Amino acid sequence: MDRSGDYLDYTGRADRLSGGARRIPIDTPNGRFSVWTKRVGNNPDLKVLLLHGGPGATHEYLEAFDSYLPRAGIEYYYYDQLGSGHSDQPDMPSLWDLGRFVDEVEQVRRALGLSRDNFVLFGHSWGGILAMEYALAHQQHLRGLVISNMMASAPAYTAYAEDVLAPAMDPEALREIRALEAAHDIENPRYMELLLPQHYEHHLLRMPAAEWPDPVQRGLGHTNQAIYVSMQGPSELGMSADAKLAQWDRLADLGKIEVPTLVVGAQHDTMDPAHMEDMASRLPKGSYLYCPAGSHLAMYDDQETYFSGLVGFLRSLPPGT
- So what's the pLDDT on residue 17? 67
The bridge status of strand 144-148 relative to strand 261-266 is parallel
CA distances from 139 to 26, 48, 106, 142 (A): 20, 14, 11, 5
Kindly list the catalytic residues. Answer: 125, 269, 296
Rounded CA-CA distance 87/35 in Å is 4
Query: What is the DSSP code string of 95-151?
Result: G--HHHHHHHHHHHHHHHT--TTTEEEEEETHHHHHHHHHHHHHGGG-SEEEEES--
113-150: b or e for each residue (b if 16 or more CB lie within 10 Å)? ebbeebbbbbbbbbbbbbbbbbbeebbebbbbbbbbbb
Amino acid 5: pLDDT: 29
Ranges of each domain in the chain = 15-155+250-316, 158-231
- In the chain, count H helices and then E strands: 10, 9
Residue (of 46, 68, 49, 73) closest to 59 by Cα position: 49
Amino acid 320: pLDDT? 74
DSSP reduced 3-state for 311: helix
Confidence at residue 10, expressed as pLDDT on a 0 to 100 scale: 27
CB of 110 closer than 8 Å to CB of 32: no
Task: Supply the DSSP string of 17-72, one letter for each residue.
Answer: -GGGEEEEEEEETTEEEEEEEEEES--TT-EEEEE--TTT--GGGGGGGGGTTTTT
Per-residue pLDDT of the chain (321 residues; tens, 9 = 90+): 222 323 233 233 446 666 789 999 999 999 999 999 999 999 999 999 999 999 999 999 999 999 999 999 999 999 999 999 999 999 999 999 999 999 999 999 999 999 999 999 999 999 999 999 999 999 999 999 999 999 999 999 999 999 999 999 999 999 999 999 888 888 899 999 999 999 999 999 999 999 999 999 999 999 999 999 999 998 888 898 999 999 999 999 999 999 999 999 999 999 999 999 999 999 999 999 999 999 999 999 999 999 999 999 999 999 876
Spatial contact of 263 and 286, defined as CB atoms under 8 Å apart: yes
DSSP structure class, residue 165: I
Adjacency order of strands within the sheet including 21-28: 15-16, 21-28, 31-40, 75-80, 47-51, 119-124, 144-148, 261-266, 286-291
State the pTM of this model: 0.93
Cα separation, 175 vs 268, in Å, equals 22
Nearest Cα to Cα of residue 249 among 146, 150, 121: 150
CATH homologous superfamily of domain 15-155+250-316?
Answer: Alpha/Beta hydrolase fold, catalytic domain (3.40.50.1820)
Q: How many residues does the chain have?
A: 321
Convert 64-88 to b/e letters by CB count within 10 Å (16 or more is b). Answer: bbeebbeebebbbbbbbbbbbbbbb
